[in-house]
Copies of this chain bind each other. A is one copy, B any other.
Amino acid sequence: MSWQKVLSDKGYRVSGPRRLVMELLAESAQPMTPLEIYQVLSQSGRALGMVSVYRALELLAELGLVCVVYNPNGSSGYVAGSAGHHHHILCKRCHRTITFAGSEDLSDLIRRVEAETNFRVSDHLLQLYGICPKCQKISADPVEDN
C-alpha cells in the first residue's frame, strides 16, 4: 500500500511538505535529522517551514511510514519506512542505512528474559552496526558522506 493511501485512509491529506519529506527520505542513503531535511529541501528550492518538517515526521513516524534509527554515536535520524517486521543496519563510518527483513529468532532469549524478569515481552528494537561495502574499500580514508 502506498504511503499516500495510508495517509488518505486515515483521513490525513497528502500535502506538499509530507510529500517532500517522504520522497527525500526514500532517496536518502543515510538517516536524516529534521534540520538536515529542512536544509536540503530549502536549498533545492522547494520551500517549506521547519515546523512542517517536524510535524510531517511526527505523523509519518506514527503511521510507520518513516522509522527512527539510532546512529552508533547516539544521535538519531529518520529513514524511509518499510512494511512488516524489519530492522536496519547502519554503517559506523558513513551512516549509510539499509533495511532488512526481521527474520531473527529471539524466542529463546525472550523466554529466558521473561522467566528471569517476569516481564511480558511484546516488542523489540534491533539494529545492526557495521561497515558498508563502500567504506570497506576506503577503510583508511576519513569519513565521507557518499
Residue positions of A touching B, CB distance < 8 A: 61, 68, 70, 72, 74, 89, 91-92, 98, 100, 103-106, 108-110, 112-114, 116-133, 136
Contact = CB atoms under 8 A, between A and B. Distances in A.
Nearest to A121: B130
A129 B133 contact: no
Question: In the complex this chain forms, how many copies of it are found?
Answer: 2
A64 B25 CA distance: 32
A121 B129 contact: yes
B123 A92 contact: yes
B119 A128 contact: yes
Contact of A70 (B70, B122, B131): B70
A72 B133 CA distance: 31
A10 to B, nearest CB: 19
A123 B126 CA distance: 11
